[in-house]
Structure 1
Amino acid sequence: MASAVIVSVLILTILSLLKINVLVAIIVSAFSAGLIAQESLSNIVKFFVESMGGSSETAISYILLGGFAAAISMTGITKGIVQFLRKIVRGKRGIMLLAIAAIASLSQNAVPVHIAFIPILIPPLIALFDKMQIDRRAIAASLTFGLKAPYVMLPLGFGLLFHEIIQENLREEGIYLSVWETASAMLIPGLGMVVGLLIAIFITYRKNRDYGQVQPEGQPSEFAQVDDTPFKFELKHVMTLIAIVAALIVQILTGQMILGALTGLLLMFLLVAVPYKQMEGIMSSGIAMMGMIAFIMLAASGYAGVLKETGSVEALVNVSSDLMGDQKPLIALVLLAVGLIVTIGIGTSFGTIPILAALFIPIATQAGFSPLAIAALIGTAGALGDAGSPASDSTLGPTAGLNVDGKHNHIWDTVVPTFIHFNIPLLIFGWAASLIL
């Protein structure tokens, strides 16, 4: 049964690298995991479908956010943002990429909108990126860094939720740490992501890349040319800013992305920032932009349910612990590798931690790891695989923004680069943290 996780994730990886649709790859992998665990097809379908509800709120949120983003783009306000960025960076690619990473980082803590900013900000910048001949793999790395590193290291915004999950699972096993203590344990692994980002920007993808030579996979993009006409701030832009601020306030006060996105979307029409008659077209654009992400998240939740209900993850951990003996370095490495395998399949660090924590903590405690080291192991094991997973919103979001002209492949241009530059440093630095702390 332990092989169910490894084989199913291997199938997911191979199918994704062969450019099979990610949604199809996840479903096939989920069924393969169930069959290897000797479950009947009817039970597999039951586990998969029932577990999909775990991501239903997220899926609806993303569709509404897609509609909100489409409405904002229709007002033309993003043109002002693009022209402002052009003045700041002045053709310097390194500054542009670091600025994108900084903006993405704010989306996790200061203004917790997660990936909602990507379809608003990135498509209008595509023509500028191409004019500067920036390798979009570097942009994907910058976006994924900003979507992931802040919550890994800082207990603010989504980071507070991440560290509260770690704290609660530690408490259930009799280990008491504050969220700031769990965050301090994750500083070393987070530093690995900083190193990976700098390598991606200034070493791996520093060379020019001419996207005029890249054959588009989809239709020609409406963002193909840089718009140099001066931006004029109008009343509809004031209404748009009011809608954006209102959406943020509602989301922060209620803690619900659905309510925030719905508030912003409704205000865009009520304040006549966009004409009411265009509602149908805007929602269609939103679904086209974010609908696939929503369905992939639902399928990933179903896959996680199959692994959990069949006991495959628990079996994998038990087999691993039998082979490790009492060697702390080896134990830490194997636990992190298990986290990497499981999270790549499930696609969410937040959802993986509860699955792994109950299994990891007894093993780590018996091996003599300190509470901070255990927190680092659990946090890193959960975070590993989020970047680099075909089913993660940390990779799906950047692809949604960068592939508006069909010239950015999800697997080879987002998943593989983020896996190399973030998962490998996370594994190394997380392993070191578990032995130092």
Structure 2
Amino acid sequence: MNAVIMAVLIMLVLSLLRVNVVFSLITGALVGGLIGGLGMDGTIAAFSEGVGGGANVALSYAMLGGFAVAVSSTGLPEALVNFVLKFIGDKEEARSKKLPRALILFVILIMACFSQNVVPVHIAFIPLLIPPLLKIMNELQIDRRLTASVLTFGLVTPYMLLPVGFGQIFHEIVVTNMAESGLEVAMDQVPKAMFLPAVGMLVGLLIAVFFSYRKPRDYDEVQLTASVETKSNTTDYTSSGLIVAGMAIIAALAAQLWTESMIFGALAGIVVLYVFRAIRWSEADHLLTNGMRMMAFIGFVMIAASGFASVMGETGDVETLVQNSAAAIGGNKALGALLMLVVGLLVTMGIGSSFSTVPIIATIFVPLALELGFSPMAVISLVGTAGALGDAGSPASDSTLGPTSGLNADGQHDHIWDTVVPTFIHYNIPVIIFGWIAAMVL
């Protein structure tokens, strides 16, 4: 039995049974390592080595959490909420209409899309924007599974399609690894090749909006947990506070782009808030600690996912999985495209990162696809789609962990059943279909 398949299946089954995702990843890695022939000592060594690789990501999210809560203390989230209220009205009668629901979801969608390309802060905006909106969303009876689907669409689709911000990084990874695997392609070919898979994401979003989660859903009015309580929940904001918050966000963005590090970007933003006294020295430690605590779960999941990926790499069964799939193809292009996409889905579901999946699969997918007679554009589509598959719908992906971190601020949103399962169904299935079509027609 292939170690990768068994490890991913065990991780997914345990997660669906509501076992903590971190423990599910560790258990899956342990079983996968043993099946892959590493033995107990080899599995533990590979996992421990991989864990170190996830420390940078975990620290990045902890710093972003601290920065988000510090910015929240200036009243910026409250200002954003009031801005939305000007359009939907303060009265519950006005909020019962469909237009306010659509407006809130549209604002969330735009923010999510911008976070990948225009202002590449990734998931840092979620703990800033979503918790203050929960009360309004509860009054409007917006199904949080729909909000999770909207957020995940905005976190994934832009980098798949647009060569800007995180999209530029993803496209460069695709082009570089394909070149190292024997196929030179141009950067401007990637958006064209990824257009149909991105349409698959759009189809999934439309199904979620107009069919799956269009009915109202009731939530209890629950006080936000201490980790997301900020001064903006209890006091008014000031113009000077908002200006400093804007300066801090700009500084964080500039530092992130300059240093290519989310850690130093968040640090720059926090320094601005300190220097201009937007947060009091007496409150700063409490605020930053609460922010880090809020994002700690994501950090632990990413660390465990890095260890999981390391064990899978050491077993060598990723290559075996691809080679077995190649043997089953027998020269059939249609079957070959489908199997490559399914393999990409399995690998990304375990690793949790499309950016990390592409280098793993490109080495084998590119020669195989060329041997089957696929065009360069079709190969780009196969590699890019296979990498992106699973980013939506993986328990260990920041594209699902991010939405959960905001929507579960009051403890009423389950990571697996309210984020992972809805995004897996609505995005991975149509993306496989449209990615397969793209491979066959390009």
Q: TM-score range by the shorter chain?
A: over 0.9
Alignment of 1:138-177 (within 5 A): 138-177=146-185
Query: Contact 1:236–1:272 (CA<8 Å) still a contact in 2?
Result: no
The correspondence for 1:212, drawn from 213, 220, 230, is: 220
CA distance in 1, matches of 2:248, 2:134: 25
One-letter amino acid of the counterpart of residue 170, structure 1: M
Q: How far did 1:286 drift?
A: 1.5
Q: What is aligned with 1:254?
A: 259
Map Cα deviations across residues 299-348 of structure 1 (whole Å, 9 max, x no partner).
10111111111101001111111111011010000010001111101100
Counterparts of 1:89-100 in structure 2, within 5 Å, are 89=88, 91=95, 92=99, 93-100=101-108
**Distance (whole Å) between structure 1 residues aligned to residue 433 and residue 387 of structure 2:** 14
Alignment of 1:377-392 (within 5 A): 377-392=382-397
2: distance between equivalents of 1:217 and 1:377?
A: 46
SS in 2 for 1:134: coil
Measure the CA separation in 1 of the matches of 2:273 and 2:373. Answer: 56
Percentage of identical aligned residues: 49
What is the aligned partner in structure 1 of residue 286 from structure 2?
A: 281
Provide closer, same or farther for how the CA distance between residues 222 and 338 of structure 1 changes in structure 2, counting only shifts above 3 A.
Answer: closer
The counterpart of 1:194, out of the listed 197, 202, 212, is 202
Q: Distance in 2 between matches of 1:383 and 1:160?
A: 14
Q: In 2, are the aligned partners of 1:353 and 1:378 still within 8 Å (CA)?
A: yes
- Per the alignment, residue 412 of structure 1 pairs with 417
2:399 equivalent in structure 1: 394
Partner secondary structure for residue 421 of structure 1: helix
Aligned with residue 127 of structure 1, among 135, 139, 154: 135
Q: Distance in 2 between matches of 1:248 and 1:80?
A: 20
Residues 58-91 of structure 1 show CA distances to partners (whole Å, capped at 9, x for unaligned) of 2111000000011111222211100112223554
Structure 1 residue aligned with 2:189 = 181
Matched residues, number? 432
Deviation at 1:218, TM superposition (A): 9.2
SS in 2 for 1:75: coil
Return 5+ residue gaps in structure 2 as ranges. Answer: 90-94
Distance in 2, Cα, partners of 1:385 & 1:34: 21
Matched to 1:404, the amino acid is A
Distance 1:349 1:219, change over 3 A: same
CA contact (8 A) 1:101 1:146 kept: yes
Supply the AA of the counterpart residue of 1:46.
Answer: A
Counterpart of 2:11? 12
Does the 8 Å CA contact 1:74/1:274 hold for their aligned counterparts?
Answer: yes
Deviation at 1:235? 2.1
C-alpha contact (below 8 Å) 1:97/1:201 kept by paired residues: no
**Is residue 373 of structure 1 aligned with residue 378 of structure 2?**
yes
1:101 matches 2:100: no
Q: Of 309, 312, 316, which aligns to 1:311? A: 316
Contact 1:353 1:382 in 2 (8 A): yes
Query: Aligned-residue CA RMSD in angstroms?
Result: 2.0
For residues 238-249 of structure 1, what are the structure 2 equivalents within 5 Å? 238-249=243-254
Which amino acid is the alignment partner of residue 37 of structure 1?
A: G
Hey, what does 2:92 align to over in structure 1?
A: none
List per-residue Cα deviations over 1:104-132 (Å, max 9, x = no partner): 00000000000000000000000010011
Structure 1 residues 45-60: aligned runs within 5 Å: 45-60=44-59
Deviates more, 1:277-286 or 1:255-264: 277-286
Contact between 1:220 and 1:406, CA under 8 Å: does it hold in 2? no
Q: Tell me the SS of whatever aligns to 1:178.
A: coil
1:427 is matched with which residue?
432
Structure 2 partner of 1:83 = 82
User: What's the TM-score, normalizing by structure 1?
Assistant: 0.95
Q: Please give the alpha-carbon distance, in whole angstroms, between the structure 2 residues aligned to 1:56 and 1:106.
A: 26
Measure the CA separation in 2 of the matches of 1:240 and 1:189: 37
- How far 1:212 moved relative to its partner? 2.3
Query: Tell me, what secondary structure is at the counterpart of 1:334?
Result: helix
Cα offset, 1:163, TM superposition: 0.4
Answer whether contact 2:150 2:205 (CA < 8 A) is retained: yes
Deviation of residue 232 (structure 1)?
4.7
Q: Distance in 2 between matches of 1:29 and 1:380?
A: 25
- Residue of structure 2 equivalent to 1:363: 368
- Counterpart amino acid of residue 304 in structure 1: A
For residues 39 and 144 of structure 2, the distance between their equivalents in structure 1, rounded to whole angstroms, comes to 44
Determine the structure 2 residue equivalent to 1:110. Answer: 118
Q: 2: CA distance between counterparts of 1:221 and 1:212?
A: 19
Q: Which residues of 2 match residues 31-42 of structure 1 at below 5 A?
A: 31-42=30-41
Note the residue ranges of structure 1 that are not aligned, 5 or more in a row. none
Q: Is the 8 A contact 2:227 2:294 kept in 1?
A: no
Aligned-residue offset at 1:144: 0.5
Amino acid at match of 1:308: G
How many Å separate the matches in 2 of 1:14 and 1:175?
A: 37
Q: What secondary structure, in the 3-state scheme, does the structure 2 residue paired with 1:391 have? A: coil
Matched-pair contact (CA < 8 Å) for 2:337–2:382:
yes
The answer to whether the 8 A contact 1:237-1:273 is kept is no
SS at the partner of 2:188? Answer: helix
Instruction: Report the alpha carbon displacement of residue 396 of structure 1 after superposing the two structures with TM.
Output: 0.3
SS of equivalent residue, structure 1 residue 211: coil
**Which letter does structure 1 place at the counterpart of 2:298?**
I
TM-score (norm 2): 0.94
Equivalent in the alignment of 2:408 = 403
